[in-house]
A and B are shown apart, each in its own frame.
Chain A
Amino acid sequence: MSGIFQRISLIFRAKTDKALDKMEDPRQTLDYSYQRQLELLQKVRRGVADVATSRKRVELQATQLNSQADKLTAQAQKALEVGREDLAREALTRRSGLQQQLTDLQAQHAQLQGEEEKLTRASQRLQAKVDAFRTRKETIKATYSAAEAQTRINEAFSGISEEMGDVGMAIQRAEDKTAQMQARAGAIDELLASGALDDPTGTAKDDITLELEALASTSDVESELASMKAALGTGPSAAAPALGSQPASGQPVAPAAPGQYQAPLAQNNYEAPPAQPNQGDLR
């Protein structure tokens, strides 16, 4: 087998070897390399934790989006009950927008989960290789002279440095993906903050909720009024003739009854507008 994979292999090896050809005493190189392996191992573990954090954030956002979608469905239902098809349509339109976001989030979640699993496996693999390297390192240091050690060390290195290169790439990949996810998660947070989505603190209300509440409170007031009138016994039938009788009895009386301010003003305007200010000033 030659061709593209042979080339990839050669270049990959050249790149991984770069990190480890610095030390004078080969046995010193062993300790230096081991140190770097441990650091890389820590970095992988941090990477796993970072990806897990991102995954949890996506889960949380999906939950929020889901409850928002449910809420919009309930709103649409309610709007239809009070005969507001326009509001219901608006609520359903918004819900379909959320559904799109949810689908994206689910895809992201699957991707993050995949990265998390890969990194976890990489971490386990590297741990096993690092342990093997430590054992071999001690053997080499105890058994061989500096000159002999060199060949043994090269053997031990080639395997571990290849693994480190592989894991290093996996980490880089996971970091890139997590950064992408975080940018998208930030965009959804902004949506939440702008009030377009449900505010978990419950302080902000969207316009559909406000309008439905206004409708609900209007109908509450009406029904309460009706029940109060019914309780008074006179009811709507008694109130109607009373109101009708006032304009019938005489026009001057009608404006006086609902508001006392209107009547004198009307009189002032027609009868003696200049007289009243004069009277006030003189007396």
Chain B
Amino acid sequence: MIVRILNEGQWDLSDDAVNQLNSLDDMVEQAVATGDQQQLAEALHSLLEQVRSSGRPVPDDQLSDSDLILPAADATLDEIRELLSGADEGLVPNL
């Protein structure tokens, strides 16, 4: 399973490793729901650390779609809410 950490790149994770991330997913979701920046930062940090340590980096010149996209390590509550809002324009900037 390929996981992208925004701003960092992609990692290839085994299904087992992905399953271990589930509790951290809940923690992030809770932090976003309650608006707790501190908890968000901590949960994100552990989550991304686990992806980096248990995953294998996908080479830069490999074009592959990610199965899962994770926010950047220093993402704020606002940025995550932004990521969750579908109303927005496309992400590729208007050049």
Contacts and interface: CB of A to CB of B under 8 A. Distances in A.
Contacts of B42: none
Given A4-B84, A122-B7, A162 B60 contact: no
A254 to B, nearest CB: 84
B62 A4 contact: no
Interface residues of A, number: 50
B63 A14 contact: no
Given A3-B25, A5-B25, A11 B60 contact: no
Nearest to A16: B91
- Main secondary structure on A side of the interface with B: helix
B95 A6 contact: no
Contact of A12 (B7, B26, B83, B95): B83
Given A1-B68, A3-B26, A18-B90, A156 B7 contact: no
A129 B61 contact: yes
Contacts of A18: 89-90, 92
A5 B68 contact: yes
Interface string A128-141: 11011100100000
Contacts of A173: 7
B60 A128 contact: yes
A19 interface: yes
Given A13-B69, A18-B90, A122-B7, 15 more contacts: A1-B22, A5-B68, A8-B70, A11-B83, A15-B89, A36-B95, A39-B95, A125-B60, A129-B60, A136-B63, A158-B64, A159-B64, A165-B92, A166-B7, A168-B92
Interface of A: 1-9, 11-20, 36, 39-40, 43, 118, 121-122, 124-125, 128-129, 131-133, 136, 155-156, 158-162, 164-166, 168-173
